[in-house]
Structure 1
Amino acid sequence: MSIVFRDFLLYAYFVIAIVSAAGGSKIGFSAVFVLFILLCAYFPLLKRAERRSRDMGLSVVILLWVPKFFAELMLFSAGERIRGRWKKAYEIHLNPAVVKTFETKEILQMLERDLLLIYQKMQGDLLLWRTSFPVPARIRAMIRGNGNAFWKKGDWFIPPFPLTSRDIDRKGARIGAFLIEHKNVLL
C-alpha cells in the first residue's frame, strides 16, 4: 500500500467519522475502517522508518517520509514558503525509547549529531518538524541564517498522523522546515 493511499485513507476516515457522528450512522464502519488503516498501513511504515533511521546511523531521530503534496500543504498552512526544489520531505521525530532513557543534555548532544549527519547525507531534502523539545543552538543558528528555513511558535494546521505526536506540549510547540543545501554554511 502506498503512503499517499494510506494518507488518503486516513483523511477519508476523519471525514467519514465526522459525517457518521453528525448523521448517527455508520459508526461501526468507521471503527473498522480506522482499525484497517492502523493495522495494515501505518504500523509497518513506522517500523520501517525506525529501521531506516537506525541503518543511517541516527541514534535519537526517526525520519518519517512525507508525500510532497502534504509537505507543501503543511508549509502553506504555516504561511511559510521554502524557495528551491526538494527531492523528498521528511518529518523529524524523536525516538521515545531514547528520550526516556537519557537526560536532556545528552539527548541534545545526540540530536545535534543526528541532525548534522542528516545534513551531510540528505542533500536536497526538506526536513519538517513540530516539537516542544529544545533544538540545539548550532542547529537554530543554521536555521536562522538560511533563507530556505523557518522556525516559529505554533502548530501545523494538518492534524498529525495517529501515534506520531509523542509527548508534545502544545503550548510550547514550534514548527519549522529546513531545505538541506550544501551551500549553507555549517557553524
Structure 2
Amino acid sequence: EMARWLVDNYPGTVTVRDREGRTPLHYCGRCRDPDWMWSTLRQAGADAALLDLHGRTPTYYMEHPQEAKLPTTPNNTPGGRFTSGGNGLVVKPANIRIWIHDRDLGRLRDVIWEGYGDKLRTETSQHPSVKQFLAGVPYVMGTIKDVHTAAVNNDPILLRKRTEDPVPREILLAKDKNGLTPL
C-alpha cells in the first residue's frame, strides 16, 4: 500500500539512486513480496537495465537478494569528503563554511536532502536567513526520519501527516544518513 501510494503520487522516487548507485528496483529482492514490488516499480517506469556501482542490474539482485545489503554508514571518500550521487555535491566542512558565508541556502538544502544534515547541526551564522535555516535543520532531519520510518513500517497515516503542507515534496526524495530514499 505504501509503495503504491509513493509511486502514484511521486513517480520520481523510482529513479532516485542511493550512494551505491542503486534504485529502489535493485532492492526488490529484499521486500516481503518481491514480485509485486518489482511489478509495481516496473509499471511506474523503473529501468531494469540500470547498473549500480558494482556493475550489477536489479535482476541480479532479485536472484541474489542477500547481496543487496542496506548500507549502515555514509560512504566516506578519501580526505573526509562526502559525495552525493550524481549532482557532484562535495560535502566537507570547508565547503559547508563557504556555503554558509555565501548564504547559499540551495546548497545547504541539498546537503540535507542528500543525507548529510548532521554536518550542519554544529554550524552557526550571524546572517538572519542562514541562522533561521540552520535552526530548522534538526526539525527537517526529524521529518525525514519520520517519513522513512513510515515507509518502512507501511504507515500511510504517518507518511501523509509528515508530508502535508508546508513540507516540500522533495522530502519524499530525501536520503537518510545511510543514503537511502523512503522507497
Structure possessing the higher relative contact order (Cα contacts under 8 Å, 6 or more residues apart): 2
TM-score by length of 1: 0.30
Which has the larger share of strand?
1
